[in-house]
Every structure is written in structure tokens, then in C-alpha cells.
């Protein structure tokens, strides 16, 4: 037993030494994690969970820097121009892959100007409607919508945001016609959604769940192919008859391009440990997010698939680049 314990201790020590040799002196100051969304949303929540646990693992504070605006473009531009020394990161959502199709000009190249670090998690969006709407299922909601073409508005967190495109995809597949009202973030949407001023919205599970359970909102369906463990009673659109409907939200970390590969790999290794940490998993589940561990290369491949995928949806929906 003593020999076994000595061997395990040697392995752990060697692993720690290897990490230190890969990235000597890193990090040598606080790491800035840019959050390109307004406070209170899912990305902000995930950033706080990840930063808390990375601080424990890296031994340096992770400072959140909120730079909301233009569906994350403002924050992404800042990071694209930052020093690629591993001390600046950004958390991005699925909208990162949408932006190239929404703008005639971009202040950065979404593929060339960033180094993917790793996917953090995935999660569904939830079609939430005001409790006054007389519908409880997808079929009832679609029938209600078809009877009111162009008369009902829906909220999104901005042009080209996942909630916007989720509704555009629903409009195309179900043959309904709702009027788009873009907001600057999920925190701004909620008061108008709860009051019924704008009665439709694709919300994150963490935002919607308390209000659904309190009876102020109704949950009609999930956007992912599988039900969410956080709200397993809510069916998916696919189950409800809209076969092939899939809008999966995702969140991941990027660094500036030319960040040295050993630093990217070091942060990724620590992120993988965060994604099996019991406290982090508990908090992610409360936010309606499933952990999605993986390598930088796997995250890079996802982004490369998502950009042309959403370009097709945007073109089909007739959304014009700004």
C-alpha cells in the first residue's frame, strides 16, 4: 500500500511539474474574461461559474469585464485586438457564428482572429409565452398564431441572436407570422414578457423556469433534439411534430489569435477539470446548461460548421445584413 501511495503521489507531482514546464510563469497576473453580454443572462452566469473555478485551479483572479453590445461584436473586437499572452479570454455564445452573416463589414475575422480554447456547455432555448395566451401545446400555439398573422410581436435579445433565429426558424417551419422586437439583452426582455407587452420569447431555461413554475409564463417547447434535464416535463419541438427543428445554444471560451498553443492547451486542461467539478456542475445545471468538455480543435470545428449553417437560415428568413 505504501508503494502504491508513493507511486500515485509521484504521478500527480510529475503531472503538475509537466504543466508548469509547458507554461512557465503563467499566469503571472489576473486573467481578464470579457463578457460581451449584459449582466444577468446565461453567458454572464456561466462566466461567473467558470471564473470562480479557474481561479482555484490557476491561482490567479479571473476578472470579468462586461463589454455588451452589437450581439457580442463589441467585446469580440476588444479581444481580437488584445495581447495574445493568455491573460485575455472571452466567453461567446452561438450568436458568435451568426454575426458574419448579419453584417456587411466586421471589425474582425471570426475564424482568423481568435484561438478557440474550449466549449463550456450547451443548452436549449425555451419558447415562453405570456400566461394569458390560450395555448398549452405547440399545435395549439401554432393554430393561435395562424389566426393572428402579423398581429403579435415577439422579443429577442437582438437581431441575429439565437432567440431571433429560433423564432424565424419556427415561423418558416410552422407557417406563422409574428413581428420581431429586438432588445439589448435578456434582462431587458423579461419585464415586458412578464407584463405581456411582448408576449413571446425564446428564453434560456434559467431565466424562464422560475416564472413558468410561478404561473406567470407558459413553457411550450424546447429547441434542442432532447429534453432538458432541468425541465424534463417540457417536450421538444421535434416531439411535438416539427421534425428536424433544432436550435442548440452553446457557450465557449476564445483567446486572441496567436496565443501560444501551450497556453491555450493549459487553459483548456484546467477548463476540463472545471467541467467535472461537482460545484460547477451543480451551478451549470441550475442555469440549464449541460457541460460539453472537449479540445480546442473540437471547438474550432464546431464554429466552422455553425457559421455556414446559420448563414443558410438567415438567407432563408430574409434577414438583411446591416
Q: What does the alpha-carbon distance between residue 252 and residue 161 come to, in Å, rounded to a whole number?
A: 16
Judgement on whether residues 87 and 135 belong to the same structural domain of the protein:
no
Query: 147 lies in which domain range?
Result: 124-222
CA-closest candidate to residue 38, choices 60, 64, 58: 64
**pLDDT tens, N- to C-terminus, the chain (322 residues):** 455 544 444 444 344 444 445 788 999 999 999 999 988 888 999 999 999 999 999 999 999 999 998 889 999 999 999 999 999 999 999 999 999 998 889 999 999 999 999 999 999 999 999 999 999 999 999 999 999 999 999 999 888 888 999 999 999 899 999 999 998 777 789 999 999 999 999 998 888 999 999 999 999 999 999 998 889 999 999 999 999 999 999 999 999 999 999 999 999 999 999 999 999 999 999 888 999 999 999 999 999 999 998 898 888 878 877 7
CATH of the domain at 158: 3.40.190.10
Which domain-ending residue is among 175, 204, 222?
222
Judgement on whether residues 50 and 99 belong to the same structural domain of the protein:
yes
Judgement on whether residues 165 and 181 belong to the same structural domain of the protein:
yes
Q: What does the alpha-carbon distance between residue 217 and residue 211 come to, in Å, rounded to a whole number?
A: 6
pLDDT for res 202 = 96
Q: What does the alpha-carbon distance between residue 42 and residue 39 come to, in Å, rounded to a whole number?
A: 9
Residue 189 in any domain: the answer is yes
CA-closest candidate to residue 39, choices 76, 95, 91, 100: 91
pLDDT for res 10 = 44
Q: What does the alpha-carbon distance between residue 210 and residue 167 come to, in Å, rounded to a whole number?
A: 22
- Whether cis (ω within 30° of 0) applies to the bond prior to 66 is no
Q: Which residue's entry shows cell 474550449? A: 118
Residue 11 in any domain: the answer is no
Residue 73 in any domain: the answer is yes
Which domain-ending residue is among 187, 205, 222?
222
Residue 243 in any domain: the answer is no
Judgement on whether residues 113 and 252 belong to the same structural domain of the protein:
yes
Q: Grid coordinates standing for 55? A: 481561479
Residue 259 in any domain: the answer is yes
CATH of the domain at 111: 3.40.190.150
Which domain-ending residue is among 188, 207, 222?
222
Judgement on whether residues 145 and 204 belong to the same structural domain of the protein:
yes
Q: What does the alpha-carbon distance between residue 123 and residue 102 come to, in Å, rounded to a whole number?
A: 23
SS3 letters across the chain:
CHHHHHHHHHHHHHHHHHHHHHCCCCCCCCEEEEECCCCCCHHHHHHHHHHHHHHHHHCCCEEEEECCCHHHHHHHHHHHCCCCCCCEEEEEEHHHHCHHHHCCCCCCCCCCCEEEEEEEEEEEEEEEEECCCCCCCHHHHHHHHHCCCCCCEEEECCCCCHHHHHHHHHHHHHCCCCEEEECCCHHHHHHHHHHCCCCEEEEEHHHHHHHHHCCCEEEEEECCCCCCCCCCCCCECCCCCCCCCCCEEEEEEEEECCCCHHHHHHHHHHHHHHCCCHHHHHHHHHCCCEECCCCHHHHHHHHHHHHHHHHHHHHHHCCCCC
pLDDT for res 271 = 98
Cβ atoms of 164 and 156 closer than 8 Å: yes
Residue 157 in any domain: the answer is yes
Judgement on whether residues 77 and 116 belong to the same structural domain of the protein:
yes
Domain count, the chain: 2
pLDDT for res 24 = 85
Amino acid at each position: 500500500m505504501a508503494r502504491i501511495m508513493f507511486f500515485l503521489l509521484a504521478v500527480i507531482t510529475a503531472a503538475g511539474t509537466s504543466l508548469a514546464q509547458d507554461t512557465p510563469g503563467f499566469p503571472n497576473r489576473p486573467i481578464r474574461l470579457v463578457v460581451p453580454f449584459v449582466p444577468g443572462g446565461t453567458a454572464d452566469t456561466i462566466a461567473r461559474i467558470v471564473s470562480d473555478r479557474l481561479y482555484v485551479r490557476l491561482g490567479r483572479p479571473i476578472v470579468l469585464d462586461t463589454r455588451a453590445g452589437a450581439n457580442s461584436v463589441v467585446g469580440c473586437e476588444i479581444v481580437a485586438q488584445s495581447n495574445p499572452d493568455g491573460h485575455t479570454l472571452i466567453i461567446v455564445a452561438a450568436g458568435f457564428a451568426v454575426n458574419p452573416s448579419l453584417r456587411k463589414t466586421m471589425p474582425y475575422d471570426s475564424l482568423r482572429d481568435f484561438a478557440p480554447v474550449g466549449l463550456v456547455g450547451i443548452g436549449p432555448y425555451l419558447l415562453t409565452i405570456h400566461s394569458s395566451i390560450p395555448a398549452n401545446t405547440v399545435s395549439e400555439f401554432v393554430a393561435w398564431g395562424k389566426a393572428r398573422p402579423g398581429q403579435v410581436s415577439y422579443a429577442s435579445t437582438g437581431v441575429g441572436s439565437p432567440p431571433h433565429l429560433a423564432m424565424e426558424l419556427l415561423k418558416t417551419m410552422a407557417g406563422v407570422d409574428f413581428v420581431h422586437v429586438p432588445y439589448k439583452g435578456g434582462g431587458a426582455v423579461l419585464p415586458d414578457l412578464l407584463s405581456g407587452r411582448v408576449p413571446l420569447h425564446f428564453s434560456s431555461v434559467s431565466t424562464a423556469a422560475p416564472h413558468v413554475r410561478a404561473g406567470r409564463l407558459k413553457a411550450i417547447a424546447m429547441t434542442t433534439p432532447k429534453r432538458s434535464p432541468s425541465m424534463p416535463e417540457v417536450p421538444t419541438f421535434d416531439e411535438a411534430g416539427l421534425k428536424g427543428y433544432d436550435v442548440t445554444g452553446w457557450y465557449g471560451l476564445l483567446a486572441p489569435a496567436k496565443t501560444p498553443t501551450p497556453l491555450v492547451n493549459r487553459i483548456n486542461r484546467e477548463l476540463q477539470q472545471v467541467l467535472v467539478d461537482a460545484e460547477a456542475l451543480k451551478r451549470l445545471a441550475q442555469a440549464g446548461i449541460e457541460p460539453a468538455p472537449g479540445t480546442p480543435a473540437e471547438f474550432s470545428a464546431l464554429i466552422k460548421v455553425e457559421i455556414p449553417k446559420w448563414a443558410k437560415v438567415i438567407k432563408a428568413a430574409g434577414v438583411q445584413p446591416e
